[in-house]
Amino acid sequence: MSLFDLLFKSFKSDPLYKLEKDCGYHFRNRSYLKQALTHRSITSNPRKNYERLEFLGDAVIDIVISKELMKEFPESDEGILTQKRSALVQKSFLSSMGRLLNLLDFLIIDSTVDLTQDKIAIKQAANLYEALIGAIYLDKGIEPAKRIILKTIWINRQEAWKSVNHKGHLIEFCHIKQLNNPKFLITDVSGPDHQKLFEVHVKIGENVYPSGIGSNKKDAEQNAAQNAIEILME
């Protein structure tokens, strides 16, 4: 066997090679990829775990998705665009993208963290996806990060937009967790009659959660419910 064959065999046996192959992206700097897969339970050093990359990836996803939405819906107002983007960047959908790439199989995490719990697994898969996007952005810039986003989030966008019932999910979550029933409060209505924007806050007990905005009351309630769910699941 030639030296080249030995090196190629060694490269293919690297567990991260499969991840790179599935993503369709190979890192110049593997340290970014390793950091993107390292949970805080392994190290609290912010330059060694995925949290900073997750933060960056979240921003990259937002800008890429926002631009694609403006191209696909050139006549839609801010409320519609916000609603559609919210469905694409919600934790549950990002988690499904993380699972699509089997990112949990590569997570470097302490054995005391129980990934058999759905709540933990959903959060980790979403975090890993965002961290991966952040790592790719640092490694080679916006274009390769955009390609991954388009072939995962964007290509599956219709699935995310199919009747996402955040309000029902929130009511069910509160019931299971024995919390007060959520109240949906309209806090602002702005804009002309033909292009109104509604702002709604969710109140659960004494806690008020970040507002949701929509072009009608129903959409605003759904977006507000989504914001509340994401905070409650942190």
Active-site positions read 58, 130
Using CA atoms, how far residue 114 sits from 37, 68, 104, 117, 220, in Å, is 16, 36, 12, 6, 35
24 burial level (CB within 10 Å; 0-12, 13-18, 19+): exposed
The dihedral formed by the CA atoms of 52, 63, 168 and 197, expressed in degrees to the nearest 10: 130
Handedness of CA 179, 39, 65, 78 (dihedral sign): positive
Residue 46's φ and ψ, nearest 5 degrees, are -65, -20
